């Protein structure tokens, strides 16, 4: 029913390879620089609260911090009924489809291909039919829905391609969700990783078309990449209160509550705009470095390069053997045997620029010798 997770498949692929001399891991989107001290110190200051059970719905102070972030970053006001703090984004991306599709007749979910593999695992638990929206260079990695669905998951900015839907594209999706009455979710976890132009939230698109209650629309965001804090497990889901209210009841049974020390640290993190901007500038430099060194088409958002190369699995072994670098084969992020995933690798630009530059040079050398 479930495939091994992509990184387990990568370990299996490389297990009999002798590793080269530059042992850096560019396969996983795990930031390799410090979490801000403001977050670390707040976490340490509240460890005595580990003796309390946390509420699965989150404390008001955390909701208020996330609401303030949404207002500052996207210019959108949400109420406490329109937001739920979550235990990271993976938790909600897995559980939301199960909740929403459980009472649907012949449930159908649509998402892009390639994709974050949690989407497919959730669809299988929900026993849903999956509609894949293939992303390719020919369609500028643009998701297109050609069938009916109960739930559509967008991922803009996109993992792994970096493609970001602009305001007009998002407005079209919102209007379609209202017209066809499906739930539209945007996984926006990379919305604070960009070189110059900030990506748009699906919530902004709602306001633009007059959907001020966010009917049929939800946005998911996370501090993991934004603040170099994946271990904090701090995210939110925001939008249609009529969906969030019963969803929170569902979540209350799963035990996915953020411990209180983490909630305090998270609240500080969502409000620490200076640190967010500092980290964003590091990624902006990395995106520019990748463009300069690799000379490949790179979108100026997220911190991934979706690199076209014949037979991604073979190239991954080649790169690991001659240089020591890990990347992730594209078909580990896809479904089915398709050149749109098979002939790509994902490169995560997660190191400080001084460390990343020689790694990208080594990657370019491996491409040239492949």
> Domain end: 272, 302, 333, which one?
272
pLDDT at 254: 87
pLDDT at 334: 94
Do 281 and 265 share a structural domain?
no
Q: CA-to-CA distance for 320 and 23, rounded, in angstroms?
A: 8
Do 322 and 174 share a structural domain?
no
Do 304 and 254 share a structural domain?
no
Range of the domain at 363: 6-34+275-369
Q: How many CB atoms lie within 10 A of CB 369?
A: 10
Do 117 and 71 share a structural domain?
yes
Q: CA-to-CA distance for 108 and 105, rounded, in angstroms?
A: 9
pLDDT at 136: 95
CA atoms within 13 A on the CB side of 53: 6
Do 252 and 163 share a structural domain?
yes
Do 74 and 23 share a structural domain?
no
Tokens describing residue 267: 């609240």
Domain presence at residue 58: yes
How would you write the pLDDT of the chain (370 residues) with one tens digit per residue? 788 999 999 999 999 999 988 899 999 999 999 999 999 999 999 999 999 999 999 999 999 999 999 999 999 999 999 999 999 999 999 999 999 999 999 999 999 999 999 999 999 999 999 999 999 999 999 999 999 999 999 999 999 999 999 999 999 999 999 999 999 999 999 999 999 999 999 999 999 999 999 999 999 999 999 999 999 999 999 999 999 999 999 999 988 899 999 999 999 999 999 999 999 999 999 999 999 999 988 999 999 999 999 999 999 999 999 999 999 999 999 988 888 899 999 999 999 999 999 999 999 999 999 9
pLDDT at 5: 94
Domain presence at residue 256: yes
Domain presence at residue 230: yes
Do 146 and 190 share a structural domain?
yes
Do 29 and 43 share a structural domain?
no
Domain presence at residue 261: yes
CATH number of the domain residue 342 falls in? 3.90.1150.10
Angle, alpha carbons 60-63-66 (nearest 5°): 150
Domain presence at residue 89: yes
pLDDT at 268: 98
SS (HEC) of the chain:
CCCCCHHHHHHHHHCCCCCCCCCCECCCCCCCCCCCHHHHHHHHHCHHHHHCCCCCCCCHHHHHHHHHHHHHHHCCCCCHHHEEEEEHHHHHHHHHHHHHHCCCCCCEEEEEECCCCHHHHHHHHCCCEEEEEECCHHHCCCCCCCCCCCEEEECCCCCCCCCCCCHHHHHHHHHHHHHHCCEEEEECCCCCCECCCCCCCHHHHHHHCCCCCCCCEEEEEEHHHHCCCHHHCEEEEEECHHHHHHHHHHHCCCCCCCCHHHHHHHHHHHHCHHHHHHHHHHHHHHHHHHHHHHCCCCCCECCEEEEECCCHHHHHHHHHHHCCCECEEHHHHCCCCCHHHHCEEEEECCCCHHHHHHHHHHHHHHHHHC
Domain presence at residue 28: yes
Distant-in-sequence, close-in-space partners of 360: CB < 8 Å, separation ≥ 6: 289, 290, 293, 294
Predicted TM-score (pTM) of the model is: 0.96
Q: How many CB atoms lie within 10 A of CB 18?
A: 9
Distant-in-sequence, close-in-space partners of 125: CB < 8 Å, separation ≥ 6: 94, 98
Q: CA-to-CA distance for 2 and 121, rounded, in angstroms?
A: 7
pLDDT at 236: 98
* Size (the chain), residues: 370
Do 249 and 131 share a structural domain?
yes
pLDDT at 3: 83
The number of domains in the chain is 2
Do 41 and 150 share a structural domain?
yes
Do 213 and 89 share a structural domain?
yes
Domain presence at residue 244: yes
Do 208 and 69 share a structural domain?
yes
pLDDT at 336: 81
CATH number of the domain residue 261 falls in? 3.40.640.10
Domain presence at residue 1: no
> Domain end: 248, 272, 296, which one?
272
> Domain end: 244, 272, 300, which one?
272
Task: Please give the distance of CA 199 from its chain centroid, rounded to a whole number.
Answer: 13
């Amino acid at each position: 029913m479930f495939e091994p997770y992509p990184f387990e498949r990568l370990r299996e692929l490389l297990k009999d390879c002798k590793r080269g001399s530059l042992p850096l891991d560019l396969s996983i989107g795990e930031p390799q620089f410090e979490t801000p001290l403001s977050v670390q110190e707040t976490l340490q200051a509240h460890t005595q609260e580990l003796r309390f059970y946390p509420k699965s719905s989150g404390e008001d102070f955390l909701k208020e911090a996330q609401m303030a972030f949404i207002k500052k970053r996207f210019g959108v006001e949400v109420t406490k009924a329109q937001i739920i703090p979550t235990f990271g984004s993976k938790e909600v991306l897995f559980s939301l489809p199960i909740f929403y599709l459980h009472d649907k007749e012949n449930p159908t979910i649509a998402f892009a291909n390639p994709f974050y593999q949690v989407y497919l695992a959730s669809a299988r638990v929900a026993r849903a039919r999956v509609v894949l929206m293939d992303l390719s260079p020919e369609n500028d990695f643009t998701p297109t829905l050609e069938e009916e669905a109960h739930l559509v998951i967008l991922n803009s900015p996109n993992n792994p391609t970096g493609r970001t839907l602009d305001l007009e594209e998002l407005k079209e999706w919102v209007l379609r969700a209202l017209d066809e009455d499906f739930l539209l979710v945007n996984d926006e976890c990379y919305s604070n990783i960009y070189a110059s132009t900030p990506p748009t939230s699906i919530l902004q698109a709602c306001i633009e078309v007059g959907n001020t209650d966010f009917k049929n629309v939800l946005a998911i965001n996370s501090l993991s990449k934004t603040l170099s804090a994946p271990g904090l497990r701090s995210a939110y889901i925001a939008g249609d209160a009529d969906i969030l209210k019963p969803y929170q009841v569902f979540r209350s049974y799963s035990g996915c509550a953020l411990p209180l020390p983490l909630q305090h640290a998270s609240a500080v993190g969502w409000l620490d705009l200076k640190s967010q901007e500092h980290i964003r500038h590091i990624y902006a430099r990395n995106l520019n470095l990748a463009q300069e060194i690799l000379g490949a088409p790179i979108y100026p958002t997220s911190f991934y390069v979706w690199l076209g190369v014949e037979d991604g699995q073979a190239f991954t072994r080649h790169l690991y053997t001659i240089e020591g670098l890990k990347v992730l084969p594209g078909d580990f992020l896809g479904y089915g045997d398709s050149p749109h995933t098979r002939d790509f690798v994902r490169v995560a630009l997660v190191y400080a620029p001084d460390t990343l530059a020689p790694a990208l040079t080594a990657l370019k050398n491996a491409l040239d010798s492949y």
